[in-house]
Amino acid sequence: MKIEYFFILVLLVMLYGCPLCINKVITENGPLVEEYKLSIPYQDGKIYKLKYSDSLVINFTAQRILEDLMVNNCAECCGETQFQIDKTILTADYPLFDIQFELNNRDTTNIECYTKIGNTYFYIPVTEAQITRTDKIDSLIIDSISYKNVYVLYSNYSTNSNKPLDSLFYNYDFGIVKLILSNDEIYTIFK
């Protein structure tokens, strides 16, 4: 009876496990290009502000972390990829939601940048190919200040069945300039 369990275990490992690597292939994607890192303008330790419906101002403290990662993917038959992740976390001083940005070069042909606000995700265009496929408005005026080259981003994914955030207005120099919630509440940049 024990030998049957042994053979079943060996069979499961052969069918579903990673093969033993004889010649491991390591792909080094190198550091993130500075141009891409500049697409997230928030600096470590600084405070940024969003205003809710012309009244409440919420302070967000920025924390920026650069990590080197190595991922082993069994599907790539002994392949490992080394890449960088640039994480930016904006922590609110009010119990609202935190904002997280992540930029990585795991796939050098398609640099990935997204933000997670609460439980809603938005992809931020950073490469020329991504930028040409994104809605852009020439300028947006908030509190008598004109913000130029603003991208209008729509939620791609939510970890909840309802989507609390509808759209995000983003500028590479200032970051988030406007958030529209699905219930029509609005948050805007405060300077």
CA atoms within 13 A on the CB side of 81: 15
Domain boundaries in the chain?
Answer: 33-189
Q: Residue 73 has what pLDDT?
A: 64
Are 159 and 168 a contacting pair, CB within 8 Å? no
Are 116 and 90 a contacting pair, CB within 8 Å? no
Tokens representing 168?
């995000």
Q: Residue 24 has what pLDDT?
A: 72
Q: Residue 184 has what pLDDT?
A: 86
Which tens digit of pLDDT belongs to each residue from 90-103? 999 987 788 999 99
Closest CA to 185 of 91, 97, 89, 93: 97
Q: Residue 74 has what pLDDT?
A: 59
Q: Residue 55 has what pLDDT?
A: 82
For residues 61 and 48, what is the distance between their CA atoms, to the nearest angstrom?
A: 6
Bridge partners for 55 per DSSP: none
Closest CA to 188 of 144, 156, 155: 144
pLDDT in tens, the chain (191 residues): 567 766 676 655 655 555 566 677 777 888 888 999 999 999 999 999 999 986 899 999 999 999 988 877 655 566 788 889 999 999 999 877 889 999 998 887 788 999 999 888 999 999 888 888 888 888 999 999 999 999 999 886 666 656 678 899 999 999 999 999 888 889 999 98
Largest CA distance in the chain: 80
For residues 38 and 116, what is the distance between their CA atoms, to the nearest angstrom?
A: 18
Distances (CA, A) of 136 to 66, 121, 168: 29, 18, 11
Distances (CA, A) of 144 to 33, 119, 148: 34, 31, 13
Please state whether beta strands 25-28 and 79-92 pair in parallel, antiparallel, or not at all (unpaired): parallel
